[in-house]
Amino acid sequence: MPLPGTPMASMPEGVLPGNSIRKNFRDYAFWQPRLTTNKDGKAKFIATFPDDITGWKIEALVMASKKRSGLASSQVQSYKPLLAQVATPHFLVEGDNTNAIGKITNYTTDTLSIIRTIEVEGNLTNIDLQITNSHVDSLILFASSPDSIHLKYAIKQKEYEDGESRTIPVFKRGVKDADGLFVALPNDTIITIALKPGSLRIYAQSDILDVVLNEIESVKNYPYDCNEQLASKLQVLLAEKKIAEFRKEKFKQEDRVKRIIKKLSENQHKDGGWGWWNQSEGLMWITLHVVHGLELAEKEGFKTIYNKEGVLTFLQSGLLQLPLREQILPMQFLVTHNIKVNVQPLYDSLIKTDLSVYSRLRLAELMQHANLPYDKTWLSDFRNETVKGNYYWGTDALHLFDNAIMSTLIAYRLLKNEKASNTELQRIRNFFLEARTHSWRNTFESASIIETLLPDLISLTANYTKTELTLMNKTITKFPYDTIVQVNGSLTVQKNWYCPGLSYSVPRILECEPQTNRQRFCG
């Protein structure tokens, strides 16, 4: 339905409407999220529209008590009888040549005598024109140096003036290039790294739990709270609690844990599951993720109030409606909760099909939890190795589940339960550290990695009490260590005792004539 009445824009006193050079451009007009109606059901506000000559669609979403809501819309059209507009690129690169297009439009029925002005970087040109309908100019622009180009295209007709002033950013030519490396140093060793001469930033940490805490902060500070993100935040908060207990420190986030538990309990759908937002219709994987977080909270002594019977009803009723591959996760949940379910037919059916590495690993973990035999021989055949010697499974992909991170997490759990060697497990753990940049890729991935690795990382940390690093003949014992050094071609690092992580990076260098480099983009 349309809005009741047309919004009106007011002009300051003494200013002829439209008699100005326009320079405030954007693709939205206003946003008023906190309006409240008066006793007559009306709300008012003053808005200044941008200078774009265009149509503006206005939408009002309203909510009231008793779950009442509504939507209304209207259209506001900017209009001027005589106007000058200029179309420019959004940006230029140093050395670019391009054209901007200026257009003068006369919507009146008269032929008008005007003065057209073009100003580029202070260079001004004026000409007299007779405009009946329209006139088009092509303006040559040359980006001689990085910074910006200032352009003005305007007209004047007696006391009336219109036009646009635009600033085009000019970026420096080239590609910013930076190099870096993360090295995990679990044992006493000496390494030499070949480097280009120049400045180098070195960062070393002595406690792997500090890396975990940094990741926990990243998840906790994520700005949104869908049910998946709430469950992920709950899981990392519980991990933070375990680290605090290990370090004999006070855990200060109990109230936040309780709030998340309350919110997730309230968000359970009437069908027993959880969807993306609030009480939306349940999705299988989100339901399993939320319930797992709530169960972890119970183990840590927190009270939960969700409908557990509803969860089982949701999983059991939806299980057989899923494709075979998607039945693995809910069936695994039922098995680990001692719910009688026959997994052998599912295994026999799927193992004959063309499964991805991720699905094969999921199926193997299901059989392991059910204490049933499964084929293990392929695990080593499908294992990959990074250039740094770390182990992983699967392929790097944007899929939420079927990717190298999630596949390797399952392989880690499988091998750990099969009593794999500490060396093999260490190489897998190092893969996750190698794959981490400023953080892992999403909240679900971060929470899954932290929960899987944390028990072993805590045990590992408990066995080491001293860290010593020798770097360029300097012995370092206080961590984290962060410094910038000058190198001439190589860097030798000697590590005694335990140091979980050393990273180096070079400052960003602008390559003005970059060469093709496929190494970083092709596997």
Q: How far apart are CA 266 and CA 79, in angstroms?
A: 50
According to the model, what pLDDT value does residue 13 have? 40
* Residue given tokens 């109990």 in the structure block: 254
CA distance 485 to 472: 9
Closest listed residue to residue 126, CA positions, set 172, 174, 163, 78 = 163
Helices 443-462 & 404-417 angle (0-180, nearest 10) = 40
**Distance, CA of 246 to CA of 458 (rounded, Å):** 8
The DSSP line for 63-80 is: EETTTEEEEEEEEEE---
3-class state of residue 521 by DSSP: coil
Residue of 302, 275, 299, 298 lying closest to 286 (CA atoms): 275
pTM given for the model: 0.62
Residue 518 has what pLDDT?
52
- Rounded to an integer, what distance in angstroms lies between the CA atom of residue 240 and that of residue 254? 11
How far is 8 from 15, CA to CA, in rounded Å?
16
Tell me how far apart the alpha carbons of residues 285 and 332 are, in angstroms, rounded to a whole number.
12
Structure tokens given for 241: 């609690």
Beta-carbon count within 10 A of 509 CB: 14
DSSP letter at 506 equals P
Residue 190 exposed, middle or buried by CB count within 10 Å (0-12, 13-18, 19+): exposed
Q: Flag residues of the chain having pLDDT under 70.
A: 1-19, 176-189, 464-466, 489, 494-523
Tell me the C-alpha to C-alpha distance, in Å, between residue 314 and each of 156, 288, 387. Answer: 71, 11, 45
For residue 211, the surrounding DSSP H or E stretch is: helix 208-220
Contact between 362 and 329 (Cβ < 8 Å): yes
CB 349 within 8 A of CB 398: no
- The whole-angstrom distance between residue 4's C-alpha and the CA centroid of its chain comes to 40
The dihedral through the CA atoms of 191, 197, 202, 208 has a sign that is negative
pLDDT at residue number 505? 47
Q: Which tokens go with 297?
A: 């909270």
Q: Are 267 and 274 in contact (CB under 8 A)?
A: yes
- Looking up tokens 């999403």 gives 442
Q: Give me 134's structure tokens.
A: 């329209």
Quote the pLDDT of residue 361: 95
pLDDT at position 465 is 60
Q: Does residue 363 contact residue 332 with C-beta atoms inside 8 Å?
A: no
